[in-house]
Structure 1
Amino acid sequence: MVTRGHEGPEMEIFHLLRAVAVEYGLRQADFAAEHGMHVTDVRALICLLDAERAGTGATAGHLGAGLGLNSAGTTAVIDRLERLGLVSRVRDVRDRRRVLLKVEECAKELGWSHFGPLIDGAVAVLSGFDERQTAAVRLFLRTTLDALTARGR
């Protein structure tokens, strides 16, 4: 276990991870400001895109849980994104009572125009790693994320 004040290689890696998270957060804030959004709106789009990538139909409840928002806050985020034409509410084809949130193509294009170079740069770095290095990075990030989410918000 690493104790407070310990500045070994583990802490150096943690500080680098934190710096990456802060820098990415700044890029999210830039994107939000540039497009008349709140940073929470950007986080909402990411949450919805992650659900889409996982093949999960995202409801307002799913989004609220992912963002740590109550029902009113979640509705406000969805309404803002819908007004901007970035998200739409659609009926679930399997259960017409259920309303799903869909990220519109224009939102994806907007995101790629801003974040694409950052993603491409990270992918280029990772493509230079061998299989063992990639597995180590994945394991570190997955278990760190698991530890963070296990603690709750």
Structure 2
Amino acid sequence: MFSLMANCCSWLKRWQEPVRKVTLIMVGLDNAGKTATVRGIQGESPEDVAPTVGFSKIDLKQGRFEVTIFDLGGGKRIRNIWRNYYAESYGVIFVVDSSDIARMEETKQAMIEVLNSPKISGKPMLVAELGEGSLTYLVF
């Protein structure tokens, strides 16, 4: 009986918990697969993805969390806007196209720039590595 009461109280407590809002930014070089990854998270087909100009905003609900993902364009000229989103983000998803060997040095430099920002310091980073038909995640 005590166990049943404890479970009811626990359930009631969780039910009354406020919804937590989390903002994430998704960055990486252009054509790395950022938008395709977001579409996959949403359960949509990642086919026929056009390049992101500027950014796109995606809102998801996952349990008691309301998650906003800013899918930021990765072109060389637009990467300087990334830093405008660092302060408000809870964490970073950095997408790497491992099949694009020719751009690995550029990818490395872009990641170093993100990691060197004081507004990112201490925040979690997920590295999503997209290759030939595969996806691997590394969490830091």
Report TM bin, short chain: under 0.3
The answer to which structure has the higher strand fraction is 2
* TM-score normalised per structure 1: 0.26
* TM-score normalised per structure 2: 0.27
The answer to which structure has the higher helix fraction is 1
